[in-house]
Amino acid sequence: MSNMESLVEAVKAGEEEDAVTYVKAVIEEGHEVVNIVASLTDGMREVGDAFGKMELFLPEMVMAADAMTAAMDELKPLIEASAAGMVAKGTVVIGTVEGDVHVIGKEIVVRMLRANGFEVHDLGYNVNTLDFIKKAIEVKADIIGASALMSTTMPNQRELVKLLTEMGCRDDYHVIIGGAPVTQPWVEEIGADSWGENAAKSIEILEGIAEKIGKNNV
Ligand code: B12
């Protein structure tokens, strides 16, 4: 088994110490951070699928999440190092919607955005819809990002777009939404602007937006 495979297996099994050992090994081997993150994300999706089929239970999902977080902490300096000396490409307000505590994916996006020169205001999780907007107005954001991981909390992404429209400021922001259950048809249905399918795709889309609004300084 390669170190990358062992890393994914360690995360899936919730073996935090092994996850740290193997993530250090794959960093040492020179794997691209985006590829490491993509492998870990696939592993977490498998955990979720197994949970959905009741092949594993909540404590195991919690342990997998902790192992994933420990692995991500090792990657943090690598991701952040590339941001040094950049001028902000745009200001992003981001959070996980109300009723939802899933943060792992959103935090990956936050780190990658910062690493790519965006100014990011991370509101955390269980974020009230109006709080996204208040913060966006306060920091003069260009982009609002909302994460939702559950079918029961996705309606809060719709609520965000609706409230922006009602407040007359919909056109002031590019609204990007993400989270495993989000799809392009959902983006269109609720009137958001784009779908951050994964961290790499999200950066690609928002780099394009930065260019459009004239904030691409690189
Ligand atoms: C880890 C996990 C947890 C952890 C979360 C830990 C944490 N600190 O975040 C814990 C154990 C706490 C947890 C709790 C629960 N969970 Co949970 N969880 C998961 C799991 C396995 C993985 C999620 C994850 O971290 N994936 C890895 C990351 C990297 O991927 P990602 O989130 O998709 O993010 C990527 C993209 O989507 C995108 N992205 C994500 N957000 C954003 C935002 C923006 C702006 C952009 C641009 C891009 C973007 O970029 C990311 C990086 O590439 C999923 C399964 C799944 N298929 O997603 C279930 C899952 C989401 N959970 C589920 C459930 C049911 C729960 C609980 C209700 C369980 C319970 N009975 O208590 C609670 C929810 C509590 C609550 N109110 O929120 C269900 C949801 C089902 C549904 N209703 O839709 C899932 C789908 C599992 C399943 N198959 O049943 N969970």
Atom of ligand 1 nearest to the CA of 61: 11
Q: Tell me: the pLDDT tens digits for 106-161?
A: 998 998 888 788 999 999 999 999 999 999 999 999 999 999 999 999 999 999 99
Tell me the sheet residues that pair with 121. 93
How large a percentage of the chain has pLDDT more than 70? 94
Atom of ligand 1 nearest to the CA of 180: 33
Question: With b meaning 16 or more CB within 10 Å and e meaning fewer, what string describes 20-54?
Answer: bbbbeebbeeebebeebbebbbebbeebbebeeee
Q: Whose CA is nearest to atom 10 of ligand 1?
A: 62
Domains and CATH numbers, the chain: 3-81 (1.10.1240.10), 91-212 (3.40.50.280)
Probe target for ligand 1 pocket from 61, 68, 202, with the most ligand atoms within 8 Å of CB: 61
Task: Determine whether the shortest distance from the Cβ of 151 to ligand 1 is under 6 A.
Answer: yes
> Is residue 182 within 8 Å of residue 198, measured between CB atoms?
no
Q: Does residue 87 have a pLDDT over 80?
A: no
Query: Apex CA 193: angle with CA 116 and CA 164, to 5°?
Result: 105
How large a percentage of the chain has pLDDT more than 90? 73
Which pLDDT score is estimated for 77? 87
Look at 149 and 84; give whichever has higher pLDDT. 149
Q: Which residue is it, tokens 């609002």?
A: 144
Strands (E), the chain: 91-96, 119-122, 143-147, 174-178, 194-196
